[in-house]
Each structure stands twice: as C-alpha cells, then as structure tokens.
Amino acid sequence: MSTESVPAPAAPVYSNKNPFHARHLVNLMLTGSGSEKDTRHHEISLEGSGIKYSAGDALGLQPTNCPDLVQELIVALHATGEELVPGRDGTLKPLRTALFGDYAITFTEKKFVEAAAEKGIQKLKDLLQPERSEDLKKYLSAQNECRDYVDILREFPELHFAPEEFVKYLRKMPPRLYSIASSLLAHPDSVHLTVAAVRFTAHGRIRKGVASTFMAERWTGDTTAGIFLQSQQKHFFLPSDGNTPIIMVGPGTGVAPFRAFIEERQALGHKGANWLIFGEQRRAQDFFYEEQFTKLANDGFLRLDTAFSRDQAEKIYVQHRLEQNASDIWKWLEEGAEFFVCGDKTRMAADVDNALHRIVETQGGKTPDEAKEYVAAMKKAKRYKRDVY
C-alpha cells in the first residue's frame, strides 16, 4: 500500500453556468422607517460550498422574477402559462417556469419593438425611424416612464404573440454582481451584501429591481439561489503591506467593500491607518453599520467622516468632505496612502475624481497638468482604485 499522501480534493469551482445553491440566512433592513430608501444587509450561507473570497471581490447572484409580474405577462399574452416554450438552455418547459427564472422581463428589448412594428403597430414603426432614436430611448427606458412587455401588450391589445414566438425576443436572465461586504476571516461560513431594493412606479404599476427585491422579499426559508464568486483582485484589492494607509470613499451601498476591507485588516492585525468617508441622505435614517463603524472609530482603528446630504439646507456630499479635509488627504497621499472609490459611476465617482485633482493642485502646489500627472501616477502604481457602476 502506498504511503504517499493523497492530495485533498480541490474546492469546487462555481460559475454562472455551475452555481452553488445557497440559502439566505439574514435579511436586515439598514434604513430607518422614515428613509426614502430600503437598503438591506444580507447574509448568505457558504456552508458546504468551499467558496473562498477576498476583500474586494464580488458575488454573482442568479435571481428569479417576481411571480406577480410573470402572471401579468401571461395574462397580457392571452396565455395560460402551461404552454411549452424553450428555456434559456433550449429545453422545453412551461411558459410560467421560463418567465420566472430563464428570461429578463422587466424591460423591453428593441428587437421585440421591431417585431411588433412588423405586425403593423404604426406608433412603434414610427419610433424606430433613425431620427427618432432619442424618442425610442425615452419610450423604453426613461426614468419612471419605462415600458416593459406588459405595458406594450396592454397599450396595443391588437398585438398578438404566441408564447413560443414571444420568448424568442427575450434576453436570457443575466446574473447580478454585488460587492462583497464582509471578510471571510471574520465570517468563515457566510458572505454579506449591502443592497438597496429598487422599487418605483411607472404607468400606474409598481416596478421592482429583479435581484434587489428577490433578496428583500422572496428569498426566504429553504429556498436556494445560485451564487458564484467573481474575483476583482486585479483592479480592486487591499495593499499587500498591512502598514499602508488607506482612504475609502463609499457613499450609499458603495460602502460595502470597505466594510470588508476594514474587517479584513482588523482580523489580520494590520497597523496601517484606515479612513472611511461615507455619505447618504440622513444620519438618523441612513447611517449603514453605524454601531460597527462608530465603535471602530472610538477605538482608534478607523477615521470616520460622514456626509449626510439632507440633514442641512445646503446639500453636502462625500466630495465636499474630501475638500474640507484637503490638507489631511494630501498628507496621507504623500505618506503612501492608497485611495479607493466605490459607487455611482456617472456622478459621484466623477465628482470625487475632480475633488482629488483639486486637492493635489491646491495642497501640493501643482499646476492642473502636474496634478493630472500625479493622479495618473497613482493609478499606474495601483494606489488609486475604483469599483464603480
């Protein structure tokens, strides 16, 4: 008999095509009853998965559609829901099952509009003219005016699609990726997320973000959902030297990876200084993880600055806090601090980037071009990292 040791089996590699079916352990509302938002802390079991993640990584989630929306769509199609249609993998299944888990149905694909126009819907044919591209965009996706398949089928009752024909125009349900809000060292059997549930009204109907409300409302009990890990260690990762200071700018749910960073550095006993700049609407309603962050600040492990935009007449955002602390920001940067930003790409990240350039100019005594070079050098050295969306 061989005395050679047998290598341990490799941890299973999960992916969108081969997810781990996980249970939902904790669904905790972070926002107060008077908040305009519904942001939640979710804890998902990793028991039995062998999944390992690093601070900065993202979790992929395979949600299902709201059953109420599925039923509305079946009725709008004048179907029963039992008709057999191809699922996303090509196998036949009941229409209701396919609409529930296989296809994206909360927004309308352009190819469906084109098919409807070919069936004689003049209004849609007109909207497809090249010179009316902006009108079509507004018709399908304008804020609080977007139209899904139910809207269009109701608007044009003469429009008819057989179920098997209809699903040909649908996009396969994509997974959703969320920044992980925990350290595996602190929570070895679970992964945490910080997610704002998306709900709004359009054309007299309540609309729901697929994954955010799946987690908030429908992922309960023994129901499992497919998850997988997406590594982000090539572009969003903690410094290898635990003595390196870090500055983290994370308003709203953008705070998620920074909670992971803080827990990781705490678990590893890293001595580098940590500075979190967090923003939301109101301190009393929207201060996520207040107890945890405040304790760390009181213990001297974390420098914490907040920007609650609606607690005073003039709105204050995270970029304003950066500029108000410009001299300290510059001092930290000159001491080798790494600068992280997570959250909204279109406005916040751009505003923070502009503030960073101004700080380098004013505090470093540099021209605008020199400030650009300084920030570019930070990026090249992986000292300026962003996870924006």
What is the pLDDT confidence band of residue 143, given thresholds at 50, 70 and 90?
A: confident
Lowest mean pLDDT among 5-9, 68-72, 350-354: 5-9
- The answer to whether residue 9 scores a pLDDT higher than 80 is no
Average pLDDT, the chain: 96
The CA distance from 108 to 147, in Å, is 7
Distances (CA, A) of 186 to 37, 192, 288: 28, 11, 18
pLDDT in tens, 167-208: 999 999 999 999 999 999 999 999 999 999 999 999 999 999
> Contact 238/261 with Cβ under 8 angstroms?
yes
Q: What fold characterizes domain 67-172?
A: NADPH-cytochrome p450 Reductase; Chain A, domain 3 (1.20.990)
What is the pLDDT confidence band of residue 144, given thresholds at 50, 70 and 90?
A: confident
pLDDT at 10: 55
| 287 Cβ contact partners less than 8 Å away, ≥ 6 residues apart | 278, 280, 306, 308
Q: Give the architecture-level CATH label for domain 246-388.
A: 3-Layer(aba) Sandwich (3.40)
235 token code pair: 């572009």
Average pLDDT over residues 24-47: 97
pLDDT in tens, 267-284: 999 999 999 999 999 999
pLDDT at 11: 55
- The answer to whether residue 44 scores a pLDDT higher than 60 is yes
- The answer to whether residue 91 scores a pLDDT higher than 90 is yes
Single-letter amino acid, residue 215: M
Q: Please tell me the CATH superfamily of domain 20-62+175-230, with its number.
A: Translation factors (2.40.30.10)
Q: Domain residue spans in the chain?
A: 20-62+175-230, 67-172, 246-388
**60 has which bridge partners?**
177, 228
- What percentage of the chain exceeds 90 in pLDDT? 96
More confident residue, 321 or 6: 321
**172 has which bridge partners?**
103
- The answer to whether residue 388 scores a pLDDT higher than 70 is yes
pLDDT in tens, 327-348: 999 999 999 999 999 999 989 9
Per DSSP, helices labelled H in the chain are 67-76, 95-101, 110-118, 122-127, 133-141, 149-155, 163-167, 210-213, 256-268, 283-286, 290-298, 318-324, 326-334, 348-364, 368-380
pLDDT at 7: 55
pLDDT at 2: 44
What are φ and ψ of residue 317, in 5° steps? Answer: -120, 175
- The answer to whether residue 355 scores a pLDDT higher than 90 is yes
pLDDT at 3: 46
pLDDT in tens, 63-89: 999 999 999 999 999 999 999 999 999
pLDDT at 90: 95
Q: Any idea which residue has 């304003």 for tokens?
A: 320
| 92 Cβ contact partners less than 8 Å away, ≥ 6 residues apart | 84, 85, 86
What is the pLDDT confidence band of residue 12, given thresholds at 50, 70 and 90?
A: low
Select from 360, 214, 196 the least CA-distant residue to 280. 196
Q: How far apart are the first and last CA of the chain?
A: 56
- The answer to whether residue 8 scores a pLDDT higher than 60 is no
